Amino acid sequence: MAAVLIIALLAATAGFALWGFLRGGVGWTLLAKELRSFFFSPIAWVVMALVMLLNGFSFTTALETLRSGDRTISLARYTFDTPIFWFAYFFIFPVATMRLFAEEQKLGTIETLLTAPVSTLQVLVSKYLAGLIFYIVVWLPSLLNFFIFRLSYPQSADAVGSLAGSYTIIFLIGAFNIAIGCLASALTRNQLVAAMTCFTLCLLHFLVGYFLGNVLPDLHEAYRPFVELISTSLHVRLFVDGLVDTRQIVYYLSGAALLLTLTYHVLEFRKWKV
């Protein structure tokens, strides 16, 4: 019950932020500008191509494993919980977010943007939503793999709940990590530093839960509730199996909200320095 109330509170907060973002139509203009900068950039298409290639390789490897007779793990688990998947996954966030604020600071346009007749909230939400939309677009082609497989082998395809859980957790972790990238980009004017900071923080968050849950099993038993809360790899396995836990939804959404709040205050500090 408490998790449901927190989710409702987060939804209300997000609704208020979107209302402030869309007020006056300025938000749409800022969002369109950010999306153009994403999809008119060759880097974005390189990232999309690389992720599609690695996803295709991961999916093909999963099919070969299933054909060999090992059916103890689902196709979705083989696809979304492998080293190939995680390599592609953590590569996305630094590239997608490093230029959001760092480029503006390097070019000296951040002062103009923050002192223009737009609110800091509108600037932040437009850049965050652009990064989130780009992230969603990157993963849409992978759905085609499962769609074709379901058409070809309807009797062997994974349950809809497994795929829904898989893409739900991918979205939740992505929303959290993009918020990390926004904060990292707001803290520096160097895009490379922003990218390395984002990559390090995202990877550390993953590794802390992974090592506590897999490398240190005794510690895992002693601090099981804490490990279950922060372990990204465990969350992926649960959601891929169709076990949607509202605690993980609260964890990632509240974490994203906290990181965006910190980013907002960083931008406000820069605004008052101008």
pLDDT along the chain (274 residues), means of 10: 63 65 69 82 81 77 68 69 76 86 76 70 86 88 76 58 81 92 89 89 83 61 67 81 80 90 86 62
pLDDT reported for residue 268:
83
- Which residue do the tokens 């223009």 mark? 116
pLDDT reported for residue 219:
56
Residue 257 CB contacts under 8 Å (≥ 6 apart), including other chains: 10, 13, 14, 179
pLDDT reported for residue 176:
94
pLDDT reported for residue 216:
58
pLDDT reported for residue 35:
84
Q: State the burial class of residue 182 (Cβ atoms within 10 Å of its Cβ: 0-12, 13-18, 19+).
A: buried
